[in-house]
Amino acid sequence: MKGETIPDQNHIARFCRPMQAPEEQIQATAFMLRADEESLSVNWLEFLKCSSRESEIAKIRTTYSQTFTVGARARIAVLNVGEVRKKVLTESPDGRNLEVLHDPLMNDPSHSGIYNLKQDDELMIAELILEVVRESYSARK
């Protein structure tokens, strides 16, 4: 449901463009807002109701390939919601409380967003998020 808080024990996936993951190493820039964004776009993996991480990633790859051009070096970063929120809350200077909310799109029902990011300090927050990336996969099918 739109606006539903994603539970801390759940996981999200973030598409990382090739320039954000040189040599398969995801960079903090993958977790920075674009000028026109109010949230960082992610996908809620448990929403997909798959039996394994591999099948979740396969579904996400299909969604990404239908949404945009997926470069050969593009990556998928997998993060635990609670770890992201705790890391930023405890280590950001302002004790930033990120919200991770379900924000489904017509062609992407698992689409979600990380909210409460700000343009002025986003590199520091992006670096904290990068520190809790659990897994990384090729984004190409």
Q: Does residue 44 lie within any of the structural domains?
A: yes
Cβ-based neighbours of 15, under 8 Å, separated by 6 or more:
41, 64, 68, 74, 75, 76, 139
Q: Does residue 3 lie within any of the structural domains?
A: no
Q: Say yes or no to pLDDT of 3 above 90.
A: no
Q: Does residue 4 lie within any of the structural domains?
A: no
- Give the structural domain span for 122: 11-138
Number of domains in the chain: 1
Q: In the prediction, which pLDDT does 101 show?
A: 98
Rounded CA-CA distance 117/33 in Å is 8
How far is residue 92 from each of residues 89, 105, 131, measured CA to CA in Å? 6, 30, 13
Q: In the prediction, which pLDDT does 36 show?
A: 83
Q: Does residue 2 lie within any of the structural domains?
A: no
Rounded CA-CA distance 140/73 in Å is 8
List pLDDT tens digits, range 13-55.
999 999 999 988 999 999 998 878 889 999 999 999 999 999 9
Q: Does residue 86 lie within any of the structural domains?
A: yes
